[in-house]
Amino acid sequence: MLKNLILTVLVFMSVTVAAQDKQQRFIIKTNTLNLPIIPSLHLECRIADKSSFVLNFHRGRLVFINENNWINVSIDFKKYFSKKTNLTGFYLSPGIAYNYDYDDVKLDDAGNVVNYGISSVGGIVRLGYQFGLIDHWILDLGTGLVIDKEIETNYNDMVNAEMRFMVGVGYKF
């Protein structure tokens, strides 16, 4: 299901690019705050002078007290509030987020493991400022809030909230 969602978004972005003039721009970036331990990829596609769609993908596997193993995917609509039309300036970016925790378990009433892996879906909103560095290089400084809920049946109906921070470095083409 996740592969189909990602492929659909990429095809949509490709068709959008082909239908627009040469002013169409992409930005591919990564979040440098978590680059060594949590790889992330962010693909931004301009859809109008001051707006774009962003596909975000994070894959993490960390061991602190216990092991954490997850995938985060989100699709955001990003609206810029600057006078420029080159995907820079202050922005507001609402979207939909999906999380899959590989190591989380669902237990039955007797305490037996029913299945591994818990999915959650929710909303995300980001605020930030994106600006050009040199030539095609950009810097994206932002923060966001994700509020999601497990979608597994008969789970505890847990609602989670998580802050996210971004110091993204990317290339615009």
In a domain, 19, yes or no: no
pLDDT at 95: 98
In a domain, 33, yes or no: yes
| Structural domain boundaries, residue 137 | 2-11+26-172
Q: What is the pTM of this model?
A: 0.77
What is the CB neighbour count within 10 angstroms for residue 136? 12
Q: pLDDT tens digits, residue range 148-173? A: 998 876 656 678 898 999 999 999 98
In a domain, 69, yes or no: yes
Could you give the residue ranges of the DSSP H alpha helices within 36-144? Answer: none
**Residue 16 or 30, more confident:** 30
Q: Are 134 and 119 in contact (CB under 8 A)?
A: no
- CATH no. for residue 84? 2.40.160
Q: pLDDT tens digits, residue range 103-127? A: 766 667 777 776 677 889 999 999 9
Using DSSP's 3-state secondary structure scheme, residue 13 falls into: helix
CA-CA distance, 122 to 72, in Å (whole number)? 11
pLDDT at 51: 93
pLDDT at 19: 44
In a domain, 73, yes or no: yes
pLDDT at 21: 45
Q: Is the pLDDT of residue 77 over 50?
A: yes
Q: Are 58 and 68 in contact (CB under 8 A)?
A: no
Please report which confidence band the pLDDT of residue 17 belongs to, taking 50, 70 and 90 as the band edges.
very low
CA-CA distance, 14 to 18, in Å (whole number)? 6
Average confidence (pLDDT) over 66-95: 89
In a domain, 20, yes or no: no
Domain count, the chain: 1
Q: pLDDT tens digits, residue range 20-58? A: 445 558 999 999 988 777 889 999 999 988 999 999 998
In a domain, 37, yes or no: yes
In a domain, 39, yes or no: yes
**Residue 169 or 13, more confident:** 169
In a domain, 56, yes or no: yes
